[in-house]
Chains A and B, each alone.
Chain A
Amino acid sequence: DAKTTQPPSMDCAEGRAANLPCNHSTISGNEYVYWYRQIHSQGPQYIIHGLKNNETNEMASLIITEDRKSSTLILPHATLRDTAVYYCIVQNQGGKLIFGQGTELSVKP
C-alpha cells in the first residue's frame, strides 16, 4: 500500500487559506488520493479525491503534482469549524482506506 506523509500539525488564521501538504511518492498510476477529516469524537468526513487532475468542490480544492508524488489540500477560507485532523489517503486496489497519522489543523481567530 502506498504510504503518505503529512506534517503532524498546522495552524491557520481564520479567513485565510489553509494549505495542507501530503507526500505519496510510492503511489501507483491507478491509485486515487483521498482526503478525509475527523472532528473530535466523530466519524471521518469525506472531503475530496483525485487521480491526476486538480479537483475542486464546495469544500476544498485538491492540487496534485504532475508526477503525482505529492498533493495539497486547500481550504480557501478557513473557519473555526474547520479545526480537525485531516487525513491524506492513497486508496489501494482493494478499495481499503488505510489511515496514517494525519495533520491536526488548528484554525485560530
Chain B
Amino acid sequence: GAVVSQHPSWVICKSGTSVKIECRSLDFQATTMFWYRQFPKQSLMLMATSNEGSKATYEQGVEKDKFLINHASLTLSTLTVTSAHPEDSSFYICSARDPLAGIYEQYFGPGTRLTVT
C-alpha cells in the first residue's frame, strides 16, 4: 500500500524559534497533501490543503503566516511552524492523496510530536 513518511517523528524546540516538518509520499506522487493538528485527547483538526505548485488553502482560524506550507514537488510537502510558542505543542499529521488510487483515497503519515519549551 501507499506509504507516507514524516520527519522528524518528534522535535523539541525553544519558544520563539521555527521548526520545519517534512511529509513525503514514498511510493506515489501526491498532487494534494493535507496537514492536521491533534491535541491530547482530541480529534484531528484539518489545518490546510496543499497542492503541488500552488499556494496552500488554510482552514478558517489557522494563521497562514504562522504555519507556512510548501509543496514544491509531487512527493514532498513541508510545514514550518514559525516563532513557535508552547501552545503550538501538538501532534502534527500529514496525509497525501494518491490520484491513481481514486480521488478520495488519503494515506496518513505517522505524525510528528512537537514540544515547545
* A34 engages B104 (CB within 8 Å): yes
Name which of A18-26, A40-48, A61-69, A76-84 contacts chain B: A40-48
- Number of A residues near B (Cβ < 8 Å) is 22
Q: Mark A79-101, 1 if CB is under 8 A from B, else 0.
A: 00000000100010011111111
Question: Which A residues fall within an 8 A CB radius of B?
Answer: 32, 34, 36, 38, 41-46, 49, 87, 91, 94-102
CA distance A98 to B36 in the complex (A): 10
- In this assembly, does B93 line the interface, its C-beta being within 8 Å of a C-beta of chain A? yes
Question: Which B residues fall within an 8 A CB radius of A?
Answer: 4, 6, 32, 34, 36, 43-46, 49, 91, 93, 95, 97, 103-111, 113
A-side binding surface: helix, strand, loop or mixed?
loop
Chain A residues in 8 Å Cβ range of B97: 95
Which chain A residue has the least Cβ–Cβ distance from B112? A43
B-side binding surface: helix, strand, loop or mixed?
strand
Per a CB cutoff under 8 Å, which of A43, A91, A100 touches B110? A43
Contacts A95-B32, A95-B103; is A43 near B43 (CB within 8 Å)?
A: no
* A99 engages B104 (CB within 8 Å): no
Chain A residues in 8 Å Cβ range of B93: 43-44
Minimum C-beta distance from A108 to chain B (A): 21
Per a CB cutoff under 8 Å, which of B49, B91, B104, B107 touches A91? B104
Which chain A residue has the least Cβ–Cβ distance from B108? A43
* B111 engages A100 (CB within 8 Å): no
CA distance A21 to B108 in the complex (A): 23
Contacts A41-B91, A44-B44, A44-B93; is A97 near B110 (CB within 8 Å)?
A: no
